[in-house]
Chain A
Amino acid sequence: MRKALALCACLLALSGPVLAADPDEMLKDPAQEARAEKIGQGLRCLVCQSESIENSNADLARDLRVIVRERVKAGDSDRQVVGYVVARYGDYVLLKPPFKARTLVLWGGPFALLLGALGVLVVFFRRRSAAGSPPPLTPEEIRRLDALLKDSGNS
């Protein structure tokens, strides 16, 4: 039993991400194929949406894999291949949205919130330390406190 578990663990550790590319759609040149895979992993499958075209089994994803490889084979740079797909499907097809004016809130929003929260914290702690510790008790107050404590002790 333990052996079987260990074997399972080893096999799991060895297995890489499963890619949907069929051997027959892969490029012969390993360097080009590696580039195509990398590009494809950044492109959204329009059918399943949260998968990349490299991971998806949808027909459209397969077609886009083939088209990406055609472009790579034709000598396009990575940027040109991505541009080709974006020209047809828009920025939406990119799994990592580009940084530009329209996506400023998307990229900057979390940092703005973080800065805002830090600001609130700083103001809060400053105010607290500015208020300082309360003034020491006067002799009169000490006497009254003692009396109260004695009182409660007797009952």
Chain B
Amino acid sequence: MRRLLYLLPVLVLGVLALFFMKGLEMDPHEIPSVLLNTPAPAINLAALPGHDHGLTTDDLKGRVSVVDIFGSWCVSCAQEHPTLLAIKETGIVPIYGIDWRDDPVKGAEWLKKNGDPYERVGLDPAPGHASVDFGVTGAPESFIVDKGGIIRWKHIGPITPEVWETELLPKIRELQK
């Protein structure tokens, strides 16, 4: 019994070490969304110049979709852009864009120059009410919304081909069943 008592500090140290090791692997910027499994927020966003439609909550109902928060000012958004265009090519899922804190003209030009992977794009000027309603922490950030308009997944950071294959696509396939 007394011997066990001497082991106590070692045990405490061991538990602390486990916590710290886990902490090393965790990304403090990946904040779990409280909005998972809740209805997508009510939005009604204006169209970009030259585009026919803005984006409303009703657009997100009826089929599984991806909502992508981006901006022409955002460097990592340019990085994920080719992947979004490739996803559009496959026709597996519609991607809706929220052009966050952007100048409408710059946003429209950016899409013209780089290609437009979005089914519809809504403009969300500062202070970005719609994006804040989605709990945005930075661009790009993407959500999978199910047929009923419920948020089922959130991805922080650019969508790479690997993220698409391993994270988003399986989730989308499952929701499409």
Contact = CB atoms under 8 A, between A and B. Distances in A.
A20 interface: no
Given A59-B101, A63-B126, A63-B127, A87 B138 contact: no
User: Interface residues of B toward A: which range?
Assistant: 10 to 19
B135 A89 contact: yes
A49 B132 contact: no
Interface string B18-46: 00000000001101111100000000000
A63 B35 contact: no
B129 interface: yes
A103 to B, nearest CB: 15
B114 interface: no
Contacts of A66: 126-127
Contact of B31 (A62, A67, A92): A92
Given A63-B101, A64-B132, A89 B138 contact: no
B172 to A, nearest CB: 24
B94 interface: no
Contact of A67 (B33, B101, B129): B129
Interface in B124-162: 126-129, 132-138
Given A88-B35, A90-B32, A90-B34, A46 B129 contact: no
Nearest to A90: B34
A59 B102 CA distance: 12
B34 A46 contact: no
Contacts of B33: 90
Contacts of A46: 31, 137-138
Contacts of A70: 127
B140 to A, nearest CB: 14
Interface in A63-106: 63-64, 66-67, 70, 86-90, 92
Contacts of A67: 127, 129, 132
B132 A88 contact: yes
A49 B28 contact: yes
B7 to A, nearest CB: 14
Interface string A120-147: 0000000000000000000000000000
Interface in A4-46: 46
Given A59-B126, A64-B132, A89-B34, 5 more contacts: A63-B101, A70-B127, A88-B135, A90-B135, A92-B31
A-B pairs with lowest CB-CB distance, top 10: A63-B127, A90-B34, A46-B137, A66-B127, A88-B135, A63-B128, A89-B135, A92-B31, A67-B127, A63-B126
